Structure 1
Amino acid sequence: MNLNIKIRDQDFVLHPFGAAYWPEQEVLLVADVHLGKVSHFRKHGSAVPVNAIAENFRKLDQLRKDFDPEHIVFLGDLFHSSLNIEWNIFEEWVNSIDNQVYLIAGNHDIISPLKYEALGIKIFSDVKVDGFHLSHHPEILEGHFNLCGHIHPGFKMRGHGRQLLKLSCFFKSQDQMILPAFGEFTGNYFMQPEDGDRVFAITGKEVIQIN
């Protein structure tokens, strides 16, 4: 189940997969997919199931179906490292869709921009639109609300009987919202909310406001 929130009089729909849809701009925001990481792990002997590669694309297609966005903006770290077999899958996926794709380059995005340009993907270091600042790294700019990734935010939910549930989350502070990592096997950095911060945990099926 999605969760609708308002940020500076703009609507944002938080999806259980960890993406956010901005209807006024017809933009789907996705952070830290880290395509190629599964293949990288498998190449080095890690027992990662091969169907995890297809899962990222299945979820992206489900988001396209749910929101029908005009634009898809990846907030950095779209690919984990250098070219591998997952680039071929990504090429086929991009050529099969009718959405305009953009990449805000992150620290892991080392693949040549020429490869993206050949697919019609525009690359930026950051984007400013209508008082919002889209970036990979968290960065506060005066007068702007920052939408970003990089951190892979998570939250530990504690229950009775020493129960502990670790979930990825959207982490919102006064002037910033950090999106969860979208990709499989990306890990989390567990956040410590302060007064005024808001945590929206994701389970894959619903978005839960924690505080």
Structure 2
Amino acid sequence: MPTYQSVPLAGTEVWLLPDKALFWPAEQALLIADAHFGKAAAFRRLGQPVPSGTTEDNLQRLDALLEAYPSRQLFFLGDFLHAPESRSEHLTARLARWRRQHIGLAITLIRGNHDRRAGDPPRALDIDVVDEPLLLGPLALRHEPEPHPTHHVLAGHLHPAFRLRGRERTQLRLPCFCLDEAVSLLPAFGAFTGAMEIRPAPQRRIFVVAEGAVWPVATSAR
């Protein structure tokens, strides 16, 4: 069984990846939502005891995805940086080193709500920054999950998760992809983010991320 799920979406094929990203073979494009680089550092600057190393973890995961899936372009569906406090010299230098390892990769950020507060990425990162939506083929790339009149929307922002209920009242809340008729959601890529629980609904397809794979969930609207 493949670790990813290949699914039809708006007349094209996309791959839902276990590292909470989406690959679009027809465009050789990797899409991630809500990286929130510098979130932990921003919290620590406010005196909150949160773990370090999240940026390094996120970049290593991103490197592994770019190596595994032949991508000409990388799209961030909003919230690249978490806050103004994230713009430290250390983070900027680390992101710049990472960018130099991927000089030939076209990178685009669709601005999200955190980007409007944190500001655009430093120019040294050579990232094209655009407002939402960005229309590409049959898809509208957004941060906010708002429908588009002519295109199927891929978005982030909500950090979707699904609660699996087992025997003896056991429960797991797992990050998920949520595919609806007009708007589909990617899970948050960032390693230090919260989540919003998604409920079953008519025509909704839910895929949870667990154990290094992506699993379809059999649901019925309730």
- The answer to whether structure 1 residue 148 and structure 2 residue 155 are counterparts is yes
* Aligned mate of 2:101, from 96, 115, 135: 96
5 Å-filtered alignment, 1:1-211, equals 1-82=3-84, 83-84=87-88, 85-97=90-102, 98-109=104-115, 110-113=117-120, 115-126=121-132, 127-203=134-210, 205-211=212-218
Q: 1:137 to 1:10 in 2, by over 3 A?
A: same
CA distance in 2, matches of 1:100, 1:130: 17
Aligned residue pairs total: 210
C-alpha deviation, 1:42, in angstroms: 2.4
Deviation for aligned residue 1:46? 3.2
* Cα distance, 1:111 vs structure 2: 4.0
Q: Deviations over 1:132-161 (max 9, x none)?
A: 110110111122100010010111000000
* Distance in 1 (alpha carbons) for counterparts of 2:211 and 2:38: 21
Q: Residue 75 of structure 1 contacts residue 149 of structure 1 at CA under 8 Å; is this kept in 2?
A: yes
- Structure 1 gaps of 5+ residues are none
Contact 2:206 2:217 in 1 (8 A): yes
1: CA distance, partners of 2:80 / 2:140: 18
Q: Matched residues in 1 for 2:140 and 2:146: separation? A: 8
The residue type paired with residue 194 of structure 1 is A
Residue identity over aligned pairs, in percent, reads 31
Preserved CA contact (<8 Å) 2:10 2:139: no
Q: Is the 8 A contact 1:28 1:71 kept in 2?
A: yes
Cα deviations by residue, 1:78-119 (Å, 9 ceiling, x for unpaired): 110111232221121112213111100101013444x54443
TM-score (norm: length of structure 2)? 0.90
Structure 2 unpaired stretches of 5+? none
Q: Which amino acid aligns with 1:92?
A: R
- Displacement of 1:125 after TM fit? 0.8
Contact 1:116/1:122 (<8 A) preserved: no
The alpha carbon displacement at 1:73 in A equals: 0.3
Task: Identify the range of structure 1 (1-10 vs 63-72) with the bigger mean alpha-carbon deviation.
Answer: 1-10
Distance 1:112 1:190 in 2: 29
Deviations 1:10-50 (A, max 9, x none): 11111111100001011100000000001112223333332
CA contact (8 A) 1:19 1:179 kept: yes
- The secondary structure found in structure 1 opposite 2:43 is helix
Whichever residue aligns with residue 212 of structure 2, its letter is K
CA distance in 1, matches of 2:200, 2:138: 24
